[in-house]
Amino acid sequence: MSAPTEAHTLPNGMLVLTREVHSAPVATSWIWYRVGSRNEPSGQTGISHWVEHMLFKGTPSIPKGDFDRLIARNGGTFNGFTWVDYTAYYETLPADRIELGLKIEADRMINTIFEPAEVDSERTVIISELDGYANYPETWLDEAVKASAFTAHPYHHPVIGYKSDLLAMTRDELYAYYQTFYMPNNAVLVLVGDFRTDALLKQVEALFAELPRGPALPQLRAVEPEPQGERRVTIRRPGPAEYLQIAYLAPDCRSPDFAPMAVLDAVLSGAKALSFMGGGTQTNRSARIYKALVESELAASAWSSFTPSRDPFLLELSATVREDKAAAVVEAALIGEITRIQQDGVDAHELAKVLKQVRAQVAYSGESVTNQAMQLGMWEVLDSYRRVDTLLDELSAVSAEDVRRVAQQYLTERRRVVGHFIPTGEEGEL
Partner 1 sequence: MSNQQSGIAGATRHVLPNGMVALIQRNPSTPTVSVRGELRVGAVGEPTEQSGLAVFTGAALIRGAGERSFQMIVEETEERGCSVSAGGGLHSSGFGGKALVEDLPLVLEILADMLIRPTFPAQEVERLRGQFLMGLRESEQETGTQASRAARALLYPPEHPYSRISSGTLATVQAITREDLARFHARYHPAGGAVAIVGDVEPAAVIAELEARLGSWAPAATPPDSTPPAAPPALEGISRKDIPMPGKVQSDVIWAVHGLRRADPDYYPVMLANMVLGQLGMGGRLGENVRERQGMAYYCYSGLEADIGAGPWSAVAGVSPENVERAIAAILHEVERFVADGPTEQELADARAFLTGSLVLGLETNDGIAGTLLGIERHGLGLDYIDRYPTIINAVSHAQIVAAARRYLSTERYVLAVAGPTAT
Site for partner 1 in 328-367 (CB under 8 A): 349, 352-353, 356-361, 363-364, 366-367
CB of 313 to partner 1, least distance (A): 26
Q: Of 247, 266, 256, 253, which is closest to residue 346 (Cα–Cα)?
A: 266
Among 39, 44, 92, 186, interactor with partner 1 by CB under 8 A: 92
Tell me the residue type at 315: L
Report, in Å, the least distance between residue 310 CB and partner 1. 27
Q: Taking the complex as a whole, how short is the minimal distance between the CB of residue 59 and partner 1, in angstroms?
A: 16
User: Site residues for partner 1, window 1-60 (CB under 8 A)?
Assistant: 1, 22-26, 56
- Judged by beta carbon, residue 5 or residue 370, the one nearer partner 1 is 370
Among 6, 41, 73, 116, binds partner 1 (CB under 8 A): 73
CB 108, CB 60: distance < 8 Å = no
- Residues 111-130 contacting partner 1, CB under 8 A: 120-129
Part of the chain binding partner 1 (CB under 8 A), chosen from 31-39, 88-96, 372-380, 413-421: 88-96
CB 357 → partner 1: shortest distance, Å?
4
Nearer to partner 1, 228 or 282 (CB): 282
Q: Name which of 48 and 284 has its Cβ closer to partner 1.
A: 284
- The reply on whether position 134 binds partner 1 by CB under 8 A is yes
Strand partners, 92: 28, 77
Q: Does 229 bind partner 1 (CB under 8 A)?
A: no
Contact of 280 with 365, CB cutoff 8 Å: yes
Residue 413 binds to partner 1 (criterion: CB under 8 A): no
CB atoms within 10 A of CB 414: 12
Rounded distance, CA 401 to CA 405, Å? 6
**CB closer to partner 1 out of 158 and 227:** 158
The site for partner 1, by CB under 8 A, has a size of 84
Please, what's the largest Cα pairwise distance for the chain? Answer: 65
Name residue 201's amino acid: L
Q: From 383, 385, 367, 339, select the one nearest 26 (Cα to Cα).
A: 367
Q: E-strand spans in 276-415?
A: 299-306, 314-321
> Exposure of 312 by Cβ count < 10 A (0-12 exposed, 13-18 middle, 19+ buried)?
middle
Residues 93-112 that bind partner 1 (CB under 8 A): 93-95, 97
Q: Letter for the amino acid at 127? A: I
- Among residues 75, 98, 81, 74, which one has the least CA distance to residue 18? 98
User: Which residue, 157 or 353, is less far from partner 1 as judged by CB?
Assistant: 353
Per-residue contact flags (x/-) with partner 1 for residues 268 to 287, judged by CB under 8 A = --xx-------x-xxxxxxx
User: Does residue 318 interact with partner 1 by CB under 8 A?
Assistant: no
Total residue length of the chain:
430
328 vs 352, beta carbon nearer partner 1: 352
CA-CA-CA-CA torsion for 96, 101, 104, 106, nearest 10 degrees? -110
Q: Distance (Å, rounded) from C-alpha 315 to C-alpha 313?
A: 7
> Rounded to an integer, what distance in angstroms lies between the CA atom of residue 312 and that of residue 223?
9
77 scored as a contact of partner 1 (CB under 8 A): yes
Considering only residues 234 through 263, tell me which ones interact with partner 1, judged by CB under 8 A: 237-241
Nearer to partner 1, 126 or 341 (CB): 126
Touching partner 1, residues 185-214 (CB under 8 A): 194
How many Å apart are CA 246 and CA 226, to the nearest integer?
A: 17
Cβ 25 vs Cβ 71: under 8 Å: no
State the minimum distance, in angstroms, from the CB of residue 42 to partner 1.
Answer: 24
Task: Please state the closest distance from residue 282 (CB atom) to partner 1, in A.
Answer: 5
